[in-house]
Amino acid sequence: MTLIKSISGIRGTIGGSQGENLTPIDAVKYAAAYGSWVKKQRQKEEYRVVVGRDARISGEMVQQLVMNTLVGMGIHVIDLNLSTTPTVEMAVMMEHADGGIILTASHNPKQWNALKLLNKDGEFLNAEAGQEILNIAEAENINFSEVDDLGKITTNDAYIDLHIDEILELPLVNTSAIKKANLKVVVDGVNSTGGIAIPLLLKALGVQTVELFCEPTGEFPHNPEPLKEHLTDLMEKVVNENADFGIVVDPDVDRLAFVDEKGEMFGEEYTLVAVADYVLQHNPGNTVSNMSSSRALRDVTEKHNGTYTASAVGEVNVVQKMKDTKAVIGGEGNGGIIYPELHYGRDSLVGVALFLSHLAEEKISVSELRTRYPSYYMSKKKIELTPQLDVDKILKSIESKYASEEINTLDGVKIDFAENWVHLRKSNTEPIIRIYTEGPSQKDADTLADRFITEIKAVAEN
């Protein structure tokens, strides 16, 4: 059981001992630290924070603890209840709130939960702000409000609809073409809030929707990370229903993947590639993705005469690089679409709308669309960490060994070979080293990953 305190939020397993897991005491402690940080940002008479959650079983308990902690600090709370990460981000902007908290552990299994923290712009906190909140929590000298100055909780369950309304108004969302295409789509909502939001969006776009695991019970029917090995039910359903394609999201709806009409994975890395291709056709410009994402985005960007830039891993790093380069589209290769025309956050709903627009305008099948893009194959593996493992020393050793190659140490170690690449980094959210590779075939990518796993183990044993 684990509690991970990082600049990107507080993530842990439910139950167990205080300080070692995400217990009620830990939820209160870090919510109070966040509330204290919010009040430091601007001197005001009234503060407001938006709070929403995915459907995981512990969500309601953690949300009540977090909201009432903020109330105890004199902060007013806008309670979205069951929602999505991008919807909470949108709500912070639309409410002109001072911040937001999303209670979700993203793709982690049901025993996990987390506090994802947002600033007044509805964006994830940068490293400096995240560290300040951790420091406040450890100092444990937080001031709470007296009885006449307590905050209030206001429930607002309209924001998923408002989020969808904003998407439908985007110039590049071709609602008329989508409706004319008469598409049929299967949605795997992994029994979380994607099962609420994605069908609502599809119905608003006139898409016939077949729901699979769309009851927000929090009992995930399969591993909630949207990878091929977890999606056999969706693949079979698409074929059996004779659907045009399938959609799957993670529990908080910021990662998006597609299954084509043959029941084959479109490729999680190619979600961003296809959406970027569509956006760049209509609005040429620059793109950004993190260092662990496919080379295919670079290829598509250059095809449209734009400039591709790689950022460090982490949504806040992608967003900052997008702002720096004035990127028109960006995101992460794990199926995260960031479309600044709407907001600076990974958003599966806008990703679905733009992908549907692309498909409807091209009038081709999803499998045909996939053939338009370069064929790169990725392997994503990991090594569990032990307390004795000196990760920085291991990565430095690998860097030295491959000093003659093209190396990027912005985030871990990425080595670009002529035909493939490997990226080794310590996870911010789990006690693991991630090994990402990409090559011209799946065998090439897997072999490269296995080779570096062997090399890392050899260094660790010496």
CA distances from 304 to 232, 281, 364, 393 (A): 35, 7, 21, 41
Q: How many CB atoms lie within 10 A of CB 109?
A: 13
CA distances from 291 to 8, 357, 416, 422 (A): 18, 28, 11, 10
Strands 329-332, 336-338: parallel, antiparallel or unpaired by DSSP?
antiparallel
Supply 247's token pair: 């959609």
Q: How many CB atoms lie within 10 A of CB 288?
A: 28
Active site residue 106: yes
> Residue 209 phi/psi, 5° resolution?
-120, 130
Choosing from 106, 348, 357, 379, which is the catalytic residue? 106
- Which residues belong to the active site? 106
